[in-house]
Amino acid sequence: MRGFVIAAVIAGGLVGASRADAKVRVVTSIETLAALTRAVGGELVEVQALGKGYSDPHFVEPKLSLVSVLNRADLLAYVGLDLEVGWLPGLVTQSRNPRIQPGQPGTLDCSTAIPVQDVPTQKVDRSMGDIHPRGNPHYWIPPDNAVRIAQEIARRLTLIDAGHGAAYNANLKQLRAQVAARLPGWNDLAAKVRGQKVVTYHKSWTYLSSWVGLQEVGYVEPKPGVPPSPQHLANLIALMKREGVRLVLVEMFYSRRTADLVANKAGARLLSMPSDVGAFPYITDYFKLVDAVLQTLTK
């Protein structure tokens, strides 16, 4: 990271910057967490996401402007489970903001509220690729998990801003009601693909597959973050033909070339999937994200 530049900016007056209004300043690592925070916080919060919904959340460029944003934050909410380990810790340290340092009330690891899946049962080492040793961090799409995240955000906002705790809890209650109202329609869409066998590019759809009932039979990456060899692709295509796999799922920020090849050779359809709020301009909140994911699967 550009340490000398960051230090210069901090020396120039970011530390201890006074708040311009009474709103709680919240910074999140991804756009979906920002959307859930806005739903819970309403007019009482000012929210900014560090990552973009159309980009890979594993890799965010640690730009100087992000240090400035973090320096002014009252609360930092992040995915956790090492999703942001390659870029967020250094930014937090460089921000010199005591409110959001590890262990402080102003830092919230949202994964603490989630029943984590894909936790390795053996010792993790680099030969296994970019595996997450504490479990799969791509958990925010299923409605049950979104409500759990929103609940933790409401609790932390209440801790930081106790005077508005009733408002945060009222907003949380409203969000729960909205999720409950949309759930039957979402489940109807999910029923159209329940039981289908799929291949995914990266092992990042586990929670969605569990919710809607997809069967993941293989992955384009032989190991997380490891490019596939020709032999792996040949074996995967043969597996897909044997199992009758008709769908290949890939996040929109990955290159489609290899996934296209696999889908074409296996007689399957490639679906470029949104995975975060902001993936497309029309996905402006959590509800539109779930709608887009399910409509992409079922259209």
* Residues 250 and 273 sit within 8 Å (Cβ to Cβ): yes
pLDDT in 10s for each residue of the chain, 299 residues: 444 334 433 433 333 334 445 899 999 999 999 999 999 999 999 999 999 999 999 999 999 999 999 999 999 999 999 999 999 999 999 999 999 999 999 999 999 999 999 998 777 655 555 666 789 999 999 999 999 999 999 999 999 999 999 999 999 999 999 999 999 999 999 999 999 999 999 999 999 999 999 999 999 999 888 899 999 999 999 999 999 999 999 999 998 999 999 999 999 999 999 999 999 999 999 999 999 999 999 98
Report H helices in 200-281: 206-212, 230-243, 257-266
**Encoding tokens for residue 249?**
């799922």
Pairing of strands 269-273, 247-251: parallel
CA dihedral 152, 157, 163, 168 (to 10 degrees): -60
**Tokens 């769908």 — which residue?**
247
Q: How many CB atoms within 10 Å of residue 87? A: 20
In this prediction, residue 131 carries a pLDDT of: 64
Distance from C-alpha of 73 to C-alpha of 49, rounded to nearest angstrom: 11
**Encoding tokens for residue 286?**
């959590």
Q: What is the pLDDT of residues 134-150, one digit of tens each?
A: 899 999 999 999 999 99
In this prediction, residue 9 carries a pLDDT of: 38
Distance from C-alpha of 145 to C-alpha of 149, rounded to nearest angstrom: 6
In this prediction, residue 223 carries a pLDDT of: 86
- Give 178's DSSP letter: H
Task: Return all residues near 53 (Cβ < 8 A) that are at least 6 apart.
Answer: 30, 31, 32, 274, 276, 277, 278, 279, 283
In this prediction, residue 21 carries a pLDDT of: 53
